[in-house]
Amino acid sequence: MRVQISPVTLRVAKAFISRHHRHNKPPVGHKFSIGLRNDAGELIGVATAGRPVARHLDDGLTLEVNRTCTTGERNANSALYGAVWRAAKAMGYQRCITYTRADESGASLRATGFVRVKELPPRKSWAESSVALRSKRDPVGNGGVPRVLWEIRRMSTTGIRIKGE
């Protein structure tokens, strides 16, 4: 089966994520979203990308893949991560990050050049937070689940990472 990358609106991406994502609800916003369609033109995957959620990583040159979601087709996630990174580079981003749950393999990330940066311990869930707007938080979320931070960066022509490039 051939797949084709296509632009999708945030509304379309959010609806797809609501129907198909295993453990997260759709992101609130994005910089852009990308769709993946099969031969019949049916949407079989989406990726949303935006500013890093972690403020200390929001340097203006780093993009975060906030969600990827597919209907399970082989290599669909890799195609989405690759498309996001190509678009990010074309827009001038120097780095792209994303997170996985620690129990996920990261195979689709490694296949597109992402490298594991660090493991993050479980954090309290939003339900345990003292924040007043608990009802607006993700009821599923990733609270209490160890995560892994992944990144991909622009490389020099020799393939060696250069600080600032």
Which superfamily, per CATH, for 4-153? Gcn5-related N-acetyltransferase (GNAT) (3.40.630.30)
> How confident is residue 165, by pLDDT bands cut at 50, 70 and 90?
very low
- Tell me whether residue 94 is exposed, middle or buried, using C-beta atoms within 10 angstroms of its C-beta: 0 to 12, 13 to 18, 19 or more: middle
Q: Between 126 and 93, where is the model more confident? A: 93
pLDDT above 90 (res 46): yes
Q: With pLDDT > 70 as the criterion, what percentage of the chain qualifies?
A: 80
pLDDT above 90 (res 125): no
Q: Whole-model pTM?
A: 0.82
Q: Which helix (H) or strand (E) holds 83?
A: helix 76-90
Cα separation, 45 vs 113, in Å, equals 20
Cα separation, 104 vs 22, in Å, equals 12
Q: For residue 110, what pLDDT is reported? A: 96
Calculate mean pLDDT across residues 81-110.
95
User: What are the residue boundaries of the structural domains of the chain, listed by start?
Assistant: 4-153
pLDDT above 60 (res 152): yes
pLDDT above 80 (res 142): no
